[in-house]
Amino acid sequence: MSSFSLWAAAAVALTVGLGSTAYLWSYRRHRTEVATGIAGLAKMRWREFARLIVEALRERGFEAESVEESLARGTQAELRLVRAGKPWLLSCKLGDGDYKVPAATVAELADAVRFHGAAGGLLVTTGRFDANSERVADGLDLYSGESLWELVEPQLPASTRHEIIAAAQKRSIQTIVGAWGAAIALALIAGFAVPALLPAPAPATDSAPRGDEAAANDSSKDQTGDGTAAAPAATPPATAPVPAPHAAAPVPSASSGDADADRAEVIRTVGALSGTERAAWSTASNLLIYRHTDAQKPDVDAICQVLERYPELRSSRVQLQPPPGSDSRVRFFQCKAY
């Protein structure tokens, strides 16, 4: 290996090794601490986890109303909190790293906040939210991953925090050692490969033909073997390019490809229509709508216009619930048959 190759290998090893160390220790180590801590929270019982969240929220001005009574209703119940004299709703969802809270669950809590007249809501999970949750989280604060860890870390015992930090540091050191090994291997490859890739100097050769030979070659190109002039090669006729057909424009659709997210968007949009109190999916294909006023044809048309934007939901059955005190009956219809 030449001196240039040694310097190139050393430069590659130092660049890759130091860059990997800086990234893994200053940035990735914190993410490892968060992941380790969240994994520990996911192993807690639901009641213990809910109490920990309530205690952590006290530091942010929240007070719980009858925590034990709320906890007794089970893991699907919303805990009632108060901040600055206004009610809030809290929902806690436990699950491992693969657990994903669907957008429909987020939309249900947002509907419950509006239905109970709460100032806002909080949804906390040890899993993660799907890509459409932010879109339907109207009036909600979502906690997962790093935001959840920042909320609960001050409430954990010092011994627990030290164990998590030590475990994250150990994993980071192991990863850094592996990164340096990869850097050295890459440096050796670069040290041997760089010289091989450098172009070798071309040897000087006198291959140019002398003047009389060049003239003879030129004259032989213009004549055939019997001394007659060579006919020029026929040029094939150019073929006009055939224009490609234009693709048909796609039919506009609001569907996201995620049925749960589409249903959540439908109840959100229908719930905002004039005369509608709230909307919910009683089944996967039955949209239940509670009305402030009796539905007229323009109201039904507006509901169908929302459903028509979602091909997989446009054939759903709609159940119109009349307002309290109304003489009207419950009405069922399908937009495609309306």
Side by side, the strands of the sheet bearing 286-291 are: 276-283, 286-291, 317-321, 331-334
- Residue 87 contacts residue 63 (beta carbons within 8 Å): no
How confident is the model over 5-15, as pLDDT tens digits?
A: 676 667 777 78
How confident is the model over 188-226, as pLDDT tens digits?
A: 676 666 555 555 555 555 444 454 444 445 544 444 444
Distance of CA 61 to the CA centre of its chain: 31
How confident is the model over 126-145, as pLDDT tens digits?
A: 999 998 898 998 889 999 99
Distances from the Cα of 139 to the Cα of 115, 136, 268, angstroms: 12, 9, 12
End-to-end CA distance of the chain: 82
Domains of the chain: 44-156 (3.40.1350.10), 259-334 (3.30.300)
pTM metric for this prediction: 0.47
If you average pLDDT over residues 159-186, what whole number do you get? 77
**Residue 183 carries which side chain, given as an amino acid letter?**
A
Give CA–CA dist 310/262, Å, rounded. Answer: 7
Give CA–CA dist 178/78, Å, rounded. Answer: 46
Report the 3 state secondary structure along the chain. Answer: CCHHHHHHHHHHHHHHHHHHHHHHHHHHHHHHHHHHHHHHHHCCCHHHHHHHHHHHHHCCCCEECCHHHHHCCCCCCCEEEEECCEEEEEEEECCCCCCEECHHHHHHHHHHHHHCCCCEEEEEECCEECCCHHHHCCCEEEECHHHHHHHHHHHCCHHHHHHHHHHHHHHHHHHHHHHHHHHHHHHHHHHHHHHHHCCCCCCCCCCCCCHHHHHHHHHHHHECCCCCECCCCCCCCCCCCCCCCCCCCCCCCCCCCCHHHHHHHHHHHHHCCCCEEEEEEEECCEEEEEECCCCCHHHHHHHHHHHCCCCCCCCCEEEEECCCCCCCCCEEEEHHHC
How confident is the model over 234-288, as pLDDT tens digits?
A: 554 555 554 544 444 444 678 888 888 888 989 899 889 988 989 988 888 889 8
Lowest mean pLDDT among 48-52, 168-172, 275-279: 168-172
**What is the average pLDDT score of the chain?**
78
- Residue 103 contacts residue 137 (beta carbons within 8 Å): no
| pLDDT above 60 for 2 | no
How confident is the model over 55-70, as pLDDT tens digits?
A: 999 999 999 876 566 6
Give the model's pLDDT for residue 200. Answer: 54
**Residue 307 carries which side chain, given as an amino acid letter?**
L
How confident is the model over 153-167, as pLDDT tens digits?
A: 998 888 777 778 777
